[in-house]
Amino acid sequence: MGKKSDIDKALFKEAMKDVTPLKHTKISPSKPLTMSIKRRPQSPRQDNDIILFPFSDYETLPPVKSNELIEFFRTGLQHKVLRKIRAGQYNIEARLDLHGMLVEEAREALGRFIIQCRREGIRNVLIIHGKGRAHHDPILKNKLNHWLRQTNDVLAFCSTRSNHGGTGALYVLLKNAHHRGHRQ
């Protein structure tokens, strides 16, 4: 059996000697960046702590239930972009898993995540907030529904398709940090 495969290899090599390989011009989708946001030890805030985003907890939206879909889109976004985000057709470039965090930890992690995405030019992210506990409104889901609307860095968000967490996660489209306009 070993001789036959050696003969096959030699024949293949001979047949391919004048062949020029095609240049690969497409970029393969890379594995999404998972940003791990470490929890800070519980201690009083020090003077050098910086509040990254002044996310307000003043809530004017009615609370959403665990199984409810949520979405938000800034005015002026193209309908094609809206359809693609709802369908989960953008490659997820980074993920943030908040479920299990306390509200203050989640607020800080979200702020650092958005800043890091902006620095690295990341636009399409997945944020996992969880579905909450039975018989209660999901706390982090409702907080994110409010917080993400408060920063102009977020152009749109919506609940994910079931393969990415369904109503326990969000697709988020961030503003392109390299362009000042609102073009897509």
Is residue 45 predicted with pLDDT exceeding 60? no
Residue type for position 159: S
Sheet (strand 33-34) strand order: 33-34, 94-97, 124-128, 169-174, 154-159, 71-73
Q: CA–CA separation, 105 vs 110, rounded Å?
A: 9
Q: Which helix H or strand E contains 171, and what residues bound it?
A: strand 169-174
Give the predicted TM-score (pTM) of the model. 0.69
Among the listed residues 104, 148, 143, the one whose alpha carbon sits nearest the alpha carbon of residue 126: 148
Collapse the DSSP code of 79 into the 3-class scheme (helix H, G, I; strand E, B; otherwise coil) and give the result: helix
| Residue 2 φ/ψ region, left for φ over 0, alpha for ψ in the -120 to 50 degree band, beta for the rest | alpha
Judge: domain 31-36+66-177, CATH 3.60.70.12. no
80 versus 40: which is more confidently predicted?
80
User: 3-class SS at 15?
Assistant: helix
Percent of the chain with pLDDT over 90: 51
Give residue-wise pLDDT tens across range 132-166.
Answer: 876 678 999 999 999 999 999 999 999 999 999 99
Q: Indicate the domain borders of the chain.
A: 31-36+66-177
- pLDDT tens for each residue of 3-19: 667 888 888 788 888 87
Residues ≥6 apart with Cβ < 8 Å to 125: 92, 93, 94, 95, 96, 113, 117, 171, 172, 174
pLDDT in the model for residue 181: 44
pLDDT > 90? residue 175: yes
Has residue 89 got a pLDDT over 80? Answer: yes
